[in-house]
Amino acid sequence: MPLFHSKRKHSYIQNNGELSTASFGTIKIECSGAYIANDHLLLVNKERTDISASSSSTNSSRSSLDTEESEESPASTNGTSQSLQESNRHEYIQANGSATTLVLNGKQQQQQLLPVPIDTTIDQNLTKRITLPQHSTEIIHISVDIGGTLTKLVYFTRNSYKQRGGKLHFRDFQTENFTLEVLDFIIALVKKSCNPTESNGNQPPITHIMATGGGAHKFYQFMKSTFEKRKLPIKIVPTDEMECLIKGLDWLITKIPNEIFTYDLKLDKTMFVDDDAITQDNIYPYLLVNIGSGVSMIKVTGPGKFERIGGSSLGGGTLWGLLSLLTDAKDYNEMLEMASKGNNENVDLLVGDIYGTSYNKIGLKASHIASSFAKVFKKLRFNTDYSKLTPQDKLAMFKQQDIAVSLLYLILNNIGQISYLQALRFGLKRIYFGGSYISGHMQTIHTLSYAVNFWSNGDMQSYFLRHEGYLGSVGAFMMGPDTKSLPPTRSGTP
C-alpha cells in the first residue's frame, strides 16, 4: 500500500522567541484509491455543473464554519456532494474544445460538454478536496502557508467512526485578513475538533499547526498570544518554505491521480499525464517555478535535494498591483476574466506592425509581441491634444480588457523565458509551474506553455497541477509534528 513517510528536522520557536531544533513526526497517509472531488478545472457537462453550483453556496464569509457545514463539513457530508465524489472516483475528463472524451470505469464515452469559467459565486475550495478512502491513522494537526498575498490552509476530517477514510480540505484567504478572518477560521476548526461526534469519526483534537511561508515567523507571536488568551494549548511548528514546496509537489504528483496535466499546443487542449508513468524514482530532476507575489525557481535533483537557483520580482503580485491601478477589477478572478475578453493587439506593438508580415528567417510570427504597450505610447504621443490630457483621459482611450491581457502576457512571457533559461542552464527538461496566481486559468496556462515551448524549440515540457497554490501547505501538512520531541507550550500540553 502506498504510504508517504517524512522524517526531517525543523525549527521550533520556544516561548522566549528563540529557534530550537525538533524532529518532524512520521506521518503516514494511505493514498490507495485517492481521488480529487468535484472536478471543474478542465470541463464538466452541463448537468454536473448545475449540481456543483447548487451544492455550493457563496463564500461570503470565511471567518466561521457555516459554509463548511453545508459543503465540506467535518461533521457531515452533503448528499449531493457525496454523489459527486462517488462519480469522480473512476472518471476523468480530457478537454477538446466543446467536445471531450469522458473515461468512465475504463470505457470511453463521448459527451457534449461545456467549458466552465472561473465563477466567484462557487466556492473553488470544493474542487480541490482530496478524498482518502483508505486512510485510518489519527491526524492531530493542520497546516498553513502564510504568503505575502494569500494564506493557504490544509486540514483533514475523518469519515464517521464506522468507516475508514477521510478528506483533505483546502482553503485560501487574503493574508491581510490573517489576524481576523484566518485566525477565526483556525480557532473554529480547533474548537470543532475538541467536540468529537460519531458523525466526524470521533476525530482527535487538533493540537499542532504546521506553519510555513514568511508569515509563519511574522505572525508567530500573534498566533501564540491569541491561542493563550483563548486557553487553546496549540503548538505552532514553523517549517522551511522551500522544503515544504518540494515535499508538497512530490507528494501530489506521485500519490494523487490526475493531479498533473499539460497543455497540448498543437491540439489546443489540456491533457492529464499518465499516472502509471510517474514514480518517486523517475520524477527527478526538474525545475519548480512557483508563481506567488514574486517568483521562485528551484532546481530539484532528488528527495530533499533542492536549490533555489533564481527568481523574479515580476510575479503575480505585480500583475495584481498594476491591474488594481489601471482597471476597475475588484479581485484577481475578475482581472483574469477581464483579460480573457481583451485584445492585446490594441496596445502591444506586434512583429507584423513593424514588418507587415512574419519574420520567418528568425522564427517570428506576425502575431508575436515586439514591444508590450508600445502602441499606447504611439497613440498618445502623436495625439494633438497630448499635453492637455490628464492621466484619466489617457487611460480612458484604451479598453481595460486590452490593458489586462497585455499585462498578463507581459508578466507570463517574462516568467516563461526566465524559466527556460534557468532550465537550460542546468540541463533540465521538465518544468513544473505552481503558485496561487495560476488559478487554473487556461489563458495563463497556455501562455506559459507557449513561452517555454517557443524558446526551447519544443525540447522542454511544462507541467501544471490542480493544487498549484497549495504546494507549501501540503508539504507542511505531510511533515507532521513529533509530539515527543516538541517542548510544551506555556499553556501546557493537551
Q: How far is the C-alpha of 19 from the C-alpha of 23, rounded, in Å?
A: 13
Task: Give the pLDDT mean for 216-230.
Answer: 93
Q: How far is the C-alpha of 263 from the C-alpha of 70, rounded, in Å?
A: 34
201, pLDDT greater than 70: no
**Residue 40: C-alpha distances to residues 182, 274, 407 (Å):** 26, 19, 26
pLDDT digits over 402-420, tens only? 999 999 999 999 999 999 9
Side chain identity at residue 287, one-letter code: L
pLDDT score for 193? 86
pLDDT digits over 71-119, tens only? 443 333 333 233 323 333 333 333 333 333 333 333 333 333 333 333 3
pLDDT score for 24? 55
DSSP string, 245-274: HHHHHHHHHHHSTT-EEEEETTTTEEEE--
**Residue 55: C-alpha distances to residues 58, 59, 170, 231, 333 (Å):** 10, 12, 17, 36, 21
Extents of the domains making up the chain: 9-252+473-479, 276-347+398-465
pLDDT score for 107? 38
Per-residue pLDDT band for 313 (boundaries 50, 70, 90) equals very high
Task: Count helices and strands (H / E) in the chain.
Answer: 15, 23
Dmax of the chain from CA atoms? 78
Per-residue pLDDT band for 195 (boundaries 50, 70, 90) equals confident
Q: Do residues 11 and 481 make contact, with C-beta atoms less than 8 angstroms apart?
A: no
Q: How far is the C-alpha of 200 from the C-alpha of 187, rounded, in Å?
A: 18
Closest Cα partner for 319 from 432, 226, 403?
403
Closest Cα partner for 135 from 34, 54, 10, 42?
34
Residue 341 per-residue DSSP state: T
Lowest model confidence (mean pLDDT) among 192-196, 353-357, 435-439: 192-196
The grid coordinates of residue 164 equal 475508514
Task: Give the pLDDT mean for 9-15.
Answer: 41
Mean pLDDT of the chain: 77
Lowest model confidence (mean pLDDT) among 70-79, 121-130, 417-426: 70-79
Q: Which residues is 168 bridged to in the sheet?
A: 130, 156
pLDDT digits over 26-81, tens only? 577 888 888 886 543 444 333 333 323 223 333 333 333 333 333 443 333 333 23
Q: How far is the C-alpha of 21 from the C-alpha of 12, rounded, in Å?
A: 6
Q: How far is the C-alpha of 414 from the C-alpha of 492, rounded, in Å?
A: 50
Closest Cα partner for 349 from 373, 317, 328?
373
Please report where in the chains the cell 483546502 appears, as a residue. 170
The grid coordinates of residue 356 equal 507587415
Report, in angstroms and rounded to the nearest whole number, the Rg of the chain calculated over CA atoms: 24
DSSP string, 36-53: ESS--SSEE-HHHHHHHH
Question: Residues for the chain: how many in total?
Answer: 494
Lowest model confidence (mean pLDDT) among 241-255, 372-386, 473-487: 473-487
Q: How far is the C-alpha of 324 from the C-alpha of 321, rounded, in Å?
A: 5
Q: Which residues is 291 bridged to in the sheet?
A: 295
Q: Which residues is 342 bridged to in the sheet?
A: none
Q: How far is the C-alpha of 282 from the C-alpha of 134, rounded, in Å?
A: 26
Q: How far is the C-alpha of 177 from the C-alpha of 410, rounded, in Å?
A: 29
Closest Cα partner for 94 from 117, 77, 113, 81?
113
Question: Could you say which of 3.40.50.720, 3.40.109.10, 3.20.20.150, 3.30.420.40 is the CATH number of the domain covering 276-347+398-465?
Answer: 3.30.420.40
Task: Give the pLDDT mean for 207-221.
Answer: 93
Phi, psi torsion values for 204, nearest 5 degrees: -70, 155
Residue 201, judged by CB atoms within 10 A of its CB (0-12, 13-18, 19+), counts as buried
DSSP string, 458-484: T-SEEEEETTGGGHHHHHHHHH-B-TT
pLDDT score for 16? 41
pLDDT digits over 444-472, tens only? 999 999 999 999 999 999 999 999 999 99
pLDDT digits over 273-312, tens only? 887 777 777 899 999 999 998 999 999 999 889 999 999 9
The whole-model pTM stands at: 0.76
164, pLDDT greater than 60: yes
